[in-house]
Amino acid sequence: MMSESMSISVNGQSQVPPGFRFHPTEEELLQYYLRKKVNSIKIDLDVIRDVDLNKLEPWDIQEMCKIGTTPQNDWYFFSHKDKKYPTGTRTNRATAAGFWKATGRDKIIYSNGRRIGMRKTLVFYKGRAPHGQKSDWIMHEYRLDDNII
């Protein structure tokens, strides 16, 4: 029988059995993983890493956040939002090589007909705004509604 406090992690790298696939739904990401993270509740399986998004380029994230040895197209991580200005509300999404830019509308995420959070889609641009070059890197940023926390 597995212990409830089990964590599969070696030297900060997720170690999972062969064939393991991590494919959570948006509802699971918000209700289970993100809600536990913001409330400082231990997550049973250590498969989502903490990263400083402003210090990493997208191509660095894929190596740092891979799970097991199976090739992946999705990587999951936790990151705090960095404010652009100390007293402002705008988010700093710049890295050394470029910046993440929001695209489209935020998507509402529901659970049992109840709104639990939002998903923002961002695209990485190489260079500096407003003249950056659009890349193929896409990120989905999830946030919980205040009533869920």
pTM for the model: 0.81
Which residue has tokens 């029988």?
1
Q: pLDDT tens for residues 42-70?
A: 998 888 999 998 899 999 888 788 766 66
Q: What pLDDT shows up at residue 68?
A: 66
- Which helix (H) or strand (E) covers residue 137, if one does? strand 133-144
The answer for residues whose C-beta is within 8 angstroms of residue 73's C-beta and 6 or more apart is none
Q: Which of 15-24, 78-87, 137-146 has the highest mean pLDDT?
A: 137-146
Q: What pLDDT shows up at residue 20?
A: 75
Taking alpha carbons only, the member of 88, 98, 111, 110 closest to residue 139 is 98
Residue 104 exposure: Cα atoms within 13 Å on the Cβ side = 13
What structural domains does the chain harbor?
Answer: 9-144 (2.170.150.80)
